[in-house]
C-alpha cells in the first residue's frame, strides 16, 4: 500500500486542523475529531493501519480512502 507523504502544514490545511509538532498522539486525534475530519482509521503504526484495512477491506474500498503519512507527527491515516 502506498501512502502519500504530507507535511504537517499540508495536513492542517487540508483537514482544517491545528495540530502542532509537539502535540501528543491523543491531542492530535482530538484535534482531528474536533475538525470533524472524515477518516476510516489512524495510527502511529503503519502495520496497525494496514491490518485495520485488511480486516475491513469492503468498507475501506467503498469509502475510497486516501492513505496519508504525516512525517512530523508519525501519523498514518486513511481519509475519505
Range of the domain at 41: 4-79
What's residue 49's pLDDT? 98
| pTM for this prediction | 0.93
- List 43's β-bridge partners, or say none: 76
Task: Count how many domains the chain has.
Answer: 1
Average predicted confidence (pLDDT) for the chain: 97
Tell me what pLDDT residue 62 has: 97
Return all residues near 29 (Cβ < 8 A) that are at least 6 apart: 42
List, for residues 37-74, the tens digit of each pLDDT value.
Answer: 999 999 999 999 999 999 999 999 999 999 999 999 99
Report, as an integer, the average pLDDT of 1-15. 97
3-state secondary structure 64-76: CCEEEEEHHHCEE
Q: What is the pLDDT of residue 78?
A: 98
Distance CA 54, CA 71 (A): 23
Amino acid at each position: 500500500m502506498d501512502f502519500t507523504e504530507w507535511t504537517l502544514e499540508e495536513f492542517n490545511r487540508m483537514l482544517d486542523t491545528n495540530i502542532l509538532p509537539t502535540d501528543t498522539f491523543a491531542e492530535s486525534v482530538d484535534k482531528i475529531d474536533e475538525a470533524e475530519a472524515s477518516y476510516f482509521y489512524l495510527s502511529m503504526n503503519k502495520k496497525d493501519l494496514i491490518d485495520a484495512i485488511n480486516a475491513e477491506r469492503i468498507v475501506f474500498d467503498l469509502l475510497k480512502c486516501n492513505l496519508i503519512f504525516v512525517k512530523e507527527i508519525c501519523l498514518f491515516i486513511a481519509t475519505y
